[in-house]
Each structure stands twice: as structure tokens, then as C-alpha cells.
Amino acid sequence: MTQQLEHGPSATKDTRNTAVTEPGSGPFSYRDLARIDEALTLSSKETGLRFTLYVGDLGRDTRAFAEELHSRSGGDPSNTVLVALSPGQRVLEIVTGTAAARRLPDRACALAVLTMTGRLGAGDLTGAIVNGLRQLSDSAGHPSRRRAH
């Protein structure tokens, strides 16, 4: 099962949902997908970065696969943040483009991972994603506020 959602200023539409299975038949209910969709939308609007989410198997080399997903996610990869999650493998990868990395250094991503793993350990996949996106967007901040510092 693979579900991929993406949002951001460079997306052709506000929302592009691609699911191999019908929503509601995988790990996410319609309500879960709505919560995740809203979190992706808010994160992108608040930061000006493009947030994407991949949930599914990440293969043997999880980091390399996540980086490949990031590079071919469309739009400007430099301003894109990919959260790649493989519950079956118990793996979580966050990949940031070069411009996004200036606003989301490794430490900020590590804190988001910590937030997410706590929720994942409790079996709350949707809560992990929503709270992780919130943590990342809070760390990245609003572009105009970041320049003022």
C-alpha cells in the first residue's frame, strides 16, 4: 500500500492525492486523510515550502529511496520537504532540499522525528504525521519572519 500526498506553492493544484488503494481501505480513513491533507496544506502555506508525504515501503536502502522520491516529486526540489514513512519497516526519513535545509537544519528534523516516533510507538500513525508536520513548519517559520531575524 502506498499513499502519497503533496502540497505547496509549486503544485499544480492545492492537493494531489495518489493512492494505490482507495482511501479508507489502507491505514488511513477518510477522516485521517482529511487531517493529513489539512496539515500538509497549512505547513506549506505557513512556511512557503512545499511539503510532501510518502507512506509505503522504502526498499532496502531507505535513505536513497527517499532521496529519489524527493528529487522526482515535481516542482522545485530545493524548496521541498519530504516526509517518508514506512510503518512496516519501522523507518522514517525526512529529506529537505537545499533551500529548505537552511530553514530546517538536521536538528529541527531530528526533533520532528522524535515527536513522530513517540506517536508511532503509541500506534497513532495519523497523529504522528500531523504533529511531525506541525513541528517542521513551526521550526521553518514563515518566510517573511525568518528574513527579519
CATH code for the domain in which residue 30 is found:
3.10.310.50
Higher pLDDT, 129 or 20: 129
The pLDDT, as a whole number, for residue 26 is: 67
Higher pLDDT, 25 or 134: 134
Number of domains in the chain: 1
Please state, in angstroms and as integers, the Cα–Cα distance from residue 123 to each residue in 102, 128, 149, following that order. Answer: 32, 9, 38
Other C-beta atoms closer than 10 Å to the C-beta of 104 total 22
Report, as an integer, the average pLDDT of 116-131: 94
At 77, the amino acid letter reads P
Structural domain span for residue 29:
3-148
For residue 40, the surrounding DSSP H or E stretch is helix 30-47
Look at 2-16, 22-36, 56-70, 92-106 and tell me which has the smallest mean pLDDT. 2-16
The predicted model scores a pTM of: 0.79
First-to-last alpha carbon distance for the chain, in angstroms, is 43
